[in-house]
Amino acid sequence: MTLSIWRYAHLALALISSVFMLILAITGVILAFDAVQEKTPPYRVDNFGDITLAQSLPALREAYFEVLQVTVDHNDFVVIEAMDEDGNPLKAYINPLTGEKLGEVIPKSQFIQWTTALHRSLFLKETGRTIVGIVSFLLLLITISGLILIIKRQQGFRHFFDKINKDFFSQYFHVVTGRWLLIPVLMIALTGTVIFMVRLEFFKKENIEINHNPISDEAISKELADIDYFKNTKLADVEKIEFPFIPDDAAEPFIITLKDRTISINQVNGDIMQETKFPYTVALEKLNIDLHTGRTNIIWAIILGLASLNIVFFMYTGFVITFKRTRTKIKNKYKAENAEIIILVGSENGSTLFFANKVHKQLLSDGKRSFLTEMNHYKSYPEAKHLLIFTSTYGLGDAPTNATKFEELLTRFPQKQDIHFSVVGFGSKAYVDFCAYAQHVEQLLEKQLWAKKLVDLNTVNDRSSADFVNWVQQWSEKSLHALATAPTVYSNKAPRLKKFKVIAKTAVSEDNSTFKIILKPLNNLKFDSGDLLAIYPAKDNRERFYSIGRNGKDVQLIVKLFPDGLGSSFLYNLAINEITEARLMTNPNFHLPKLAPKVAMISNGTGIAPFLGMVINNKGLTDIHLYSGFRMNNSLTESYKNFAKEYQSKGQLNRFELAFSRENNKMYVMDLILRDYFFFANLLQEGGVIMICGALKMQKDVEKTLNEITTNHHGKPLQFYIDNNQILTDCY
């Protein structure tokens, strides 16, 4: 709950001040650039910090007919206002030791003056200054709340500069630059607030007048170079010197303005005549102006400019983060009460929801009654058979914001029937408490009498698609609900839609409901057999995936036409030369192994599609043995036999074995594997690869059969060969 308060405070403050802050940030960048460029003329003399008034004042009186005043600006440039011998006014940068003119004083451009006025008061005078002060204070609060959020995100201050998990660019940029530019932004906000408070007299103090009694005889006359005060005062400590209107008149003093006081000096005998001490608020204001503008240091001015520019990007990335976090991404076709698969999400920034949504859409496309919601919305699910929980971890093993109520709700709503559950944790191994909350959730579910664990906890590091696919494969195999196993499917960087032209298509018949369709890419695309084609038959964002074979430069699909199949009907109804759009998604984990000496391919039904493409593109370097199971021996299987003969004669296919489950001599592909027991045993022992494509049930039966072979023949379970990447699967 604490995290939510800080996050909502951070967002609310940003929303309230956004327009004014944008103006102040942009004008701040311009003024910081102006502060940098105004330091470029070489008007500061060498050893300026060592020059005393006793050295400078006599030289200036000697060099000019009449000196009115001398000022030292924040750059340590000395400016003189004087009259020449012809009575003409003069204002210039000078060398304070010689009076030499170094350059003209050029007024600020109209644009800079306009920008300065906008930055200081928004052209609204006192009202504008008040608004600017309030916005500065809000920026201070935003910075503090942002600091707290980063500390919580990084699981403590000691991990403040640890690696940031890059969920997406805006989030990464927002946090990283927030860390590195924290101090400059904090200084901008703090100094702006202090300047506002001083100018509105929050710290109102009066000047202190100090009268000094004469200590020297009025008849005594000293040269300027011999006056003690001038000898002991550095020009670098002075802001302004007002020269006496009449030289040698004791009633006309030098008025020296320092940072904290003004002092009147008798020009004849050097006595201090009067002193006005400023309250501390004057020095406080000047210090904060220097820090706020960067006018005294070019490096600090550059840093402030970058920080001001970054405030603009903070606003943009902050609102992108908010949009990603708050926009409605969840679209449910079924109500929670009617769903058979419940997907609960605990996500801090939306990346975990992305994975959950991918699974949710696939299940809906496959006709499953899936329901997706946040963990904080957990309740009774009377028809649920599966419960999937995808959750990240926040802070020191805490629940993400939308999962903070889950533990309480889990106790309040025990399910009435047994439900299989699986938990997937998302996080970064850079943090000590990697997926700690997901572990906690699994432990909570293990204590529920109705909850039956289907798959052990899986963890996903840094949004790794490969890590997530590990869970997909396990859950699909155990639940018999097919999910795409290509990592690309679960990547944020999904390939763009491409156009394809239908160049060939076979027809279905009474004894054959399977058809072949060949699509020609209208762009040059790199793909291989075993990759996936995602189509969108409903013109929505729900994908249907098909494993493809590469036939030359074309995409070849083998599809079974289902009467109510949206995807298969869509493809079958495409006309020759018709253009359609789809995505090609790489599936490198199911390509023909390049280094394997021997490959056995096992399929049933349309799972033969990628294998046909692999045979076509085999250069004869790999021994391919194709085992396929079908229901009936019909025109389709006859075409496969002809295909096998052609490529056996070319040396690209070693053999083709068929099994028919509905013919008189009933046989399944598992029977073929047992028949060739020693072939499969030796293949795995010699480093060969077995590839399986088709129905999930067939995959389970095949793996069970292979496990018997490896256990009996080698004394090793099939899992050993799976871990060794010798068993590759793409089943549905």
Name residues of the chain where pLDDT drops below 50: 1-3, 328
pLDDT, tens digit, for every residue of 314-329? 888 877 777 766 554 6
The whole-number pLDDT of residue 3 equals 47
Q: Pick from 70, 1, 58, 11: which is nearest to 323 by CA?
A: 11
pLDDT, tens digit, for every residue of 5-16? 656 666 666 666
The CB density around residue 598, as the number of other CB atoms within 10 Å, is 19
pLDDT, tens digit, for every residue of 598-622? 999 999 999 999 999 999 999 877 8
DSSP 170-214: HHHHHHHHHHHTHHHHHHHHHHHHHHHHHHTTTT----EEEE---
Residue 419 CB partners (closer than 8 Å, separation 6+): 342, 381, 384, 385, 386, 387, 450, 451, 452
Instruction: Report d(CA 668, CA 690) in Å as an integer.
Output: 17
CB 549 within 8 A of CB 616: yes
Domains of the chain are 2-39+110-204+287-323 (no CATH), 329-481 (3.40.50.360), 484-591 (2.40.30.10), 592-732 (3.40.50.80)
Instruction: Report d(CA 364, CA 541) in Å as an integer.
Output: 11
| Residue type present at position 557 | L
Instruction: Report d(CA 204, CA 197) in Å as an integer.
Output: 10
Residue 338 CB partners (closer than 8 Å, separation 6+): 369, 383
The whole-number pLDDT of residue 667 equals 94
> DSSP character for 196?
H
φ, ψ for residue 421, nearest 5 deg: -125, 155
Q: What is the dihedral of CA 492, 495, 496, 497, to 10 degrees?
A: -120
Termini Cα distance of the chain: 42
CB 139 within 8 A of CB 21: yes
CB 135 within 8 A of CB 17: yes
Residue-averaged pLDDT of the chain: 88
Instruction: Report d(CA 107, CA 374) in Å as an integer.
Output: 61
